[in-house]
Chains A and B, each alone.
Chain A
Amino acid sequence: MALIALLAAPNFIDTLLLKFFSEQTVNYVIWPFIQVGAVVTITAGWVAYATYLERKISAFIQARLGPMRVGPWGLLQPIADGLKLLVKEDFIPENADRWVFFVAPYIAVVAAFVVMAVVPFGPDWAVITDVNIGVLFVLAVSSVGVLALILAGWSSNSKYALLGALRSSAQMVSYEVSMGLAIIGALMFGRTLSLSGIVGAQASDSIWFLLYQPVGFVIFLISGIAENNRAPFDLPEAESELVAGFHTEYSGFRWSLFFMAEYAAMVVVTAVATTLYLGGWYFPFVYRLTEAKGYHNAYVVVSLIVFLAKAGLLLYLYFWLRWTLPRFRYDQLMDLGWKWMLPAALINIVVSAIGVGTLQGLDGWHGMDTIRSVTSGLGLTPTGKVIAIAFGVANLFLTAGILSLINWRSRDFNLKKQRSKIRLVDLPKGKPAVAPVAVSEP
């Protein structure tokens, strides 16, 4: 009973609010405020516990225990960390550009959090606002984060910070290109720029766009990791080279804002990837078991949990990669971005366009039936789905083939041939006559 009461809460609050305010105020002012508050709080909590999760997962990978002291299993560790950072001195270096130095962390955090406004966490009331150009909004606002990094690096008046900032700006700009292009394939099937619309398209078709767009998904994920400056692309803050990159001079809460921005940006990318390729909050049977039986709020809540679970899986991938892979070098990163990701994204667009064109052309040809409707996305019949998936799988091989054709002479492609094997020599014992002789000329 308690659960049902909880699930009925939004309706109850709604009726309560309507007693005091007009309907318009409630719908356009008060509810959005509640939603924004909830999303910001939940995201901040999610970010805090993402750090905890990361520490636990890294500990698991590295044969350690991770945080164990604060609270049971160290569960209160993020709170302790936050408190500690709050009470630290707010230090600004003497020769820093004070105002820019002051403002940069806020830009980073705001840019990362604002994107949450359009992310559909679930159906109905679980999305703050459904902008009809949601995808563009995400791309535009998340690129503002670059500005914060450049400002932070520049204003710190430190060479390490400057190098880190330059690296990060170059990196984020180049990966944004392939990220933006990778999305286009999914948009062809979604037929809308609204994120809720894209989820709706996948839900109405009972399919994930991952199946139509495997290449697009991979490109989006890799570019997303690169854009978030996460390992193995964490060059801007490569601690072994640049100490701490753009936030070398930051400490205390201002540093923690950058840290929060990084994790929030990660959450955003995983959320967008889930929305575009993994069906967002859509999961088979959920609709039939809840909404169809009249439990509307249960539907929303279960969908919300589905969404968080999917995004959490992708987040785990982030952690996994970070703690197992070495770091790229700066020029190799650029190579990967421009020579591999960008051509792959372009190939993906061409193949997807041909695929969609073929589907449309085949519809009605010799009595074939591929497209069911185009009202909500590209609704495909089972035949159409098979053709689209076949195109997706073919695209994987095609992209791999074309990429190796483009890059067959590059250093990266031939690395395994370049490396050498070591020889084992059983040298004779005793004193050698003279100085040793080089056995082979390298």
Chain B
Amino acid sequence: MHQVEIATTQNTLLDSPQMTLNMGPQHPSTHGVLRVILKLDGETVIDLDCDIGYLHRGMEKIAENRMYNMIAPYWDRLDYIAAVSNGLVWVETVEQMMGLDVPKRAHYIRTILTELNRIASHLLWLGTHALDIGAVTILLWAFREREEILKIFERQFGARLTCHAWRIGGMPNDAYDDFESDVRQFIHNFPNRLDEYETVLNENRIWLSRTVGIGVISGEDAIAIGLSGPALRGSGVAWDIRKARPYAAYGDMDFDVPLGENGDTYDRYLVRMEEMRQSRRIIQQAIDNLPGGPVNAKVPKLIKPPVGDYYHSIEGPKGEIGCYLVSDGTQQPWRVRVRPPCFINLQALKRLSIGHLVADVVAIIGTLDIVLGEIDR
């Protein structure tokens, strides 16, 4: 492990007055409407406070007054970058609570599309993260690939960003005619493009100096804070829900989990880049073994899960998206609780940023990969 130069935060040489800097909610690199209140000594961060809630829509409360299949579109707007993954956790929770037998083909298509969504989300993260650090070009390159995924989504779901992907018990319709060839085309081109990004960034001195040793968090601390997803795996903790509690068709897939070593920004960057490769591997397997058959289970007209509570979570692009559902046996849930990955990952911001410079705070916000739609709900 290397030494991170963290300036003393207590006594400064010149005893300079602190400066309070308000970053956001309208700031180019707080990824939405996050407001960060920074206490600065010169440019060193002494203290940091996050102010959230500018995008609060009361999702969980709204869900109490909707029928089960009416809730799903709200769910897609949680983390709007990963609408497909968000939708999946909701339908799977209800399906598992009701004990529905979803056909294998639906599971496979779900796997393909959620992995495509993971790649799209990671590409957006890569672009904005690099943009925050100053490498503008990567953003447009990443969007070029993301565009191809969004085209597949548009043809499949009819929407590019807030796609309402699933129905309880399966899918609204089968995969469109050219689905297979489109996906194959994408996974054929994708690795070269990924290599291209890595040649621009991996060995880049400035990129290294901006990311190596910045925002270090140990595995224990990461677990204590409750980090999940790439932010957790960057610290070397081997935890991936796709492996631990396989859902959809992940049980049939063969893939590796990338783990970081130092838990710094550079590790989280490498982990996400490798995750995109692994996602591609999963898609390749799923598309090769795509079974035929129906895509819908037999679903009762009225969806009434049995009385009780149920928790189900999946590995979203940003971490563990969970859904805790309490049913009183009626057509509407009694209580719904989201386990939001970004909200919990954002807690680490203060821990990671103190002692670093303002420029690093921006890099750390980027590396946590937050989406305010899900933090504020």
Smallest Cβ distance from B60 to chain A, in angstroms? 26
**Contact residue among A58, A231, A422 (Cβ-Cβ distance under 8 Å from B134):** A231
Whether A159 contacts B21 in the complex (CB less than 8 A), given A418-B212, A425-B256, comes out as yes
> Is the pair B261, A416 in contact by a Cβ cutoff of 8 Å?
no
- Which A residue's beta carbon lies closest to that of B366? A240
B270 within 8 A of A: yes
CA distance A326 to B197 in the complex (A): 13
B126 within 8 A of A: no
A429 within 8 A of B: yes
Contacts of A436 on B, CB cut-off 8 Å?
Answer: 223, 237-239, 244
Which of B9-17, B137-145, B295-303 lies at the interface? B137-145
Contacts of B258 on A, CB cut-off 8 Å?
Answer: 422-425
**Contact residue among B136, B140, B212, B254 (Cβ-Cβ distance under 8 Å from A419):** B212
A329 within 8 A of B: yes
CA distance A412 to B251 in the complex (A): 44
Smallest Cβ distance from B195 to chain A, in angstroms? 16
Q: Mark B272-292, 1 if CB is under 8 A from A, else 0.
A: 001000000000000000000
CA distance A423 to B257 in the complex (A): 8
Q: Mark A418-442, 1 if CB is under 8 A from B, else 0.
A: 1111111111111110011111111
Contacts of A159 on B, CB cut-off 8 Å?
Answer: 19, 21-22
CA distance A324 to B270 in the complex (A): 19
> Is the pair A239, B244 in contact by a Cβ cutoff of 8 Å?
no
Whether A439 contacts B236 in the complex (CB less than 8 A), given A418-B213, A427-B257, comes out as yes
Smallest Cβ distance from A162 to chain B, in angstroms? 9
In chain A, residues 322-337, which have Cβ atoms closer than 8 Å to a Cβ of chain B?
323-332
Pick from B43, B246, B255, B263 the residue with the most CB of A within 10 Å: B43
B28 within 8 A of A: yes
B360 within 8 A of A: yes
**Contact residue among B2, B134, B236, B358 (Cβ-Cβ distance under 8 Å from A327):** B134
- Which A residue's beta carbon lies closest to that of B360? A329
Contacts of A327 on B, CB cut-off 8 Å?
Answer: 133-135, 206, 210, 359
Binding site secondary structure of chain B: mixed
CA distance A442 to B223 in the complex (A): 13
Contacts of A420 on B, CB cut-off 8 Å?
Answer: 260-262, 264, 266-267, 270
A238 within 8 A of B: yes
A23 within 8 A of B: no
A62 within 8 A of B: yes
> Is the pair B260, A238 in contact by a Cβ cutoff of 8 Å?
no
A2 within 8 A of B: no
Smallest Cβ distance from A410 to chain B, in angstroms? 10
> Is the pair A163, B43 in contact by a Cβ cutoff of 8 Å?
yes
Q: Mark A218-244, 1 if CB is under 8 A from B, else 0.
A: 000000000000011011001111110
> Is the pair B135, A325 in contact by a Cβ cutoff of 8 Å?
yes
Contacts of B264 on A, CB cut-off 8 Å?
Answer: 420
B92 within 8 A of A: no
> Is the pair B29, A439 in contact by a Cβ cutoff of 8 Å?
no
Whether A427 contacts B238 in the complex (CB less than 8 A), given A159-B21, A440-B261, comes out as yes
Instruction: Give how many B residues have a beta carbon under 8 Å from the other chain's beta carbons.
Output: 71
Whether A430 contacts B246 in the complex (CB less than 8 A), given A63-B144, A241-B358, A422-B261, comes out as yes
Smallest Cβ distance from A85 to chain B, in angstroms? 21
Which of B47-55, B65-73, B81-89, B214-222 lies at the interface? B214-222
CA distance A108 to B141 in the complex (A): 35
Whether A328 contacts B209 in the complex (CB less than 8 A), given A61-B137, A241-B359, comes out as yes
CA distance A441 to B310 in the complex (A): 34
> Is the pair B134, A232 in contact by a Cβ cutoff of 8 Å?
yes
- Which B residue's beta carbon lies closest to that of A417? B2
A84 within 8 A of B: no
Counting chain A residues whose Cβ lies within 8 A of the other chain, the interface size class is: 35 or more
> Is the pair B132, A419 in contact by a Cβ cutoff of 8 Å?
no
B245 within 8 A of A: yes
In chain B, residues 340-377, which have Cβ atoms closer than 8 Å to a Cβ of chain A?
357-360, 362
> Is the pair A241, B29 in contact by a Cβ cutoff of 8 Å?
yes
CA distance A160 to B24 in the complex (A): 12
Smallest Cβ distance from A57 to chain B, in angstroms? 11
> Is the pair A326, B28 in contact by a Cβ cutoff of 8 Å?
no
> Is the pair B208, A416 in contact by a Cβ cutoff of 8 Å?
yes
**Contact residue among A240, A330, A431 (Cβ-Cβ distance under 8 Å from B244):** A431
> Is the pair A240, B134 in contact by a Cβ cutoff of 8 Å?
yes
A64 within 8 A of B: yes
A415 within 8 A of B: yes
> Is the pair A424, B358 in contact by a Cβ cutoff of 8 Å?
no
**Contact residue among A234, A425, A426, A429 (Cβ-Cβ distance under 8 Å from B251):** A429
CA distance A234 to B134 in the complex (A): 9
> Is the pair B210, A240 in contact by a Cβ cutoff of 8 Å?
no
CA distance A26 to B344 in the complex (A): 76
A88 within 8 A of B: no
A98 within 8 A of B: no
B259 within 8 A of A: yes
CA distance A167 to B72 in the complex (A): 49
Contacts of B270 on A, CB cut-off 8 Å?
Answer: 420-422
> Is the pair A439, B209 in contact by a Cβ cutoff of 8 Å?
no
> Is the pair B236, A325 in contact by a Cβ cutoff of 8 Å?
no
> Is the pair A324, B137 in contact by a Cβ cutoff of 8 Å?
yes
Contacts of A437 on B, CB cut-off 8 Å?
Answer: 237-238
Pick from B144, B204, B239 the residue with the most CB of A within 10 Å: B239
> Is the pair B206, A328 in contact by a Cβ cutoff of 8 Å?
yes
A372 within 8 A of B: no
> Is the pair B140, A63 in contact by a Cβ cutoff of 8 Å?
yes
CA distance A217 to B56 in the complex (A): 55
Whether A425 contacts B27 in the complex (CB less than 8 A), given A420-B266, A420-B267, comes out as no
- Which A residue's beta carbon lies closest to that of B252? A429
Q: Mark B297-314, 1 if CB is under 8 A from A, else 0.
A: 000000000000000000
Q: Mark A308-332, 1 if CB is under 8 A from B, else 0.
A: 0000000000000001111111111
Q: List 30 A-B contacts (CB under 8 A).
A: A62-B137, A238-B359, A240-B132, A241-B29, A325-B134, A326-B204, A326-B206, A326-B207, A327-B359, A411-B5, A419-B212, A420-B270, A421-B261, A422-B260, A423-B258, A423-B259, A423-B261, A425-B257, A426-B256, A427-B244, A429-B251, A431-B244, A436-B238, A438-B219, A439-B238, A441-B220, A442-B216, A442-B217, A442-B219, A442-B260
Residues of B with Cβ closer than 8 Å to A? 1-2, 5, 19, 21-22, 27-29, 43, 130-137, 140-141, 144, 200-201, 203-210, 212-213, 216-220, 223, 235-240, 243-246, 251, 254-264, 266-267, 270-271, 274, 357-360, 362
Given A61-B137, A240-B29; 14 other pairs, CB 8 A cutoff: A159-B22, A241-B359, A330-B357, A418-B212, A420-B262, A420-B267, A421-B261, A422-B271, A424-B259, A427-B243, A441-B236, A442-B216, A442-B219, A442-B236
